[in-house]
């Protein structure tokens, strides 16, 4: 789950950068739920990590997904996607 969260976080950031391009802002409607899925997987992965194992990939995935969600929502608000 930790690795899946990291991969989804990277893909969500790529989708975010594409969604910032004018006329492609509606991509954020798909990207934000995708990033929420990665956020959930990352949180579950952090909680299921045994003591002594690294939580680095899960934390990175959670941070990347959170960035994609926040900036994507800002882009939708500024672009008129959320009225």
Looking at every residue in the chain, the average pLDDT score rounds to: 88
pTM for this entry = 0.86
Q: How many CA within 13 A on the CB side of residue 58?
A: 16
Could you give the 3-state DSSP secondary structure of residue 18? helix
Q: Are 61 and 9 in contact (CB under 8 A)?
A: yes
* Domain boundaries, given as residue ranges, for the chain: 2-78
Q: Report the distance separating Cα 70 and Cα 28, nearest Å.
A: 11
At residue 81, does pLDDT exceed 70?
A: no
Q: Are 37 and 43 in contact (CB under 8 A)?
A: no
pLDDT in tens, 59-79: 999 999 999 999 999 888 887
| % of residues, the chain, pLDDT over 70 | 95
Section 5-31 average pLDDT: 88
């Amino acid at each position: 789950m930790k690795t899946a969260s990291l991969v989804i976080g990277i893909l969500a950031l790529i989708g975010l950068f594409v969604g910032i391009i004018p006329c492609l802002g509606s991509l954020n409607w798909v990207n934000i739920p995708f990033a929420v899925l990665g956020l959930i997987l990352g949180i579950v992965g952090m909680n299921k990590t045994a003591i002594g194992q690294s939580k680095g990939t899960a934390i990175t995935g959670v941070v990347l997904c959170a960035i994609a969600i926040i900036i994507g929502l800002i882009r939708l608000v500024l672009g008129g996607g959320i009225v």
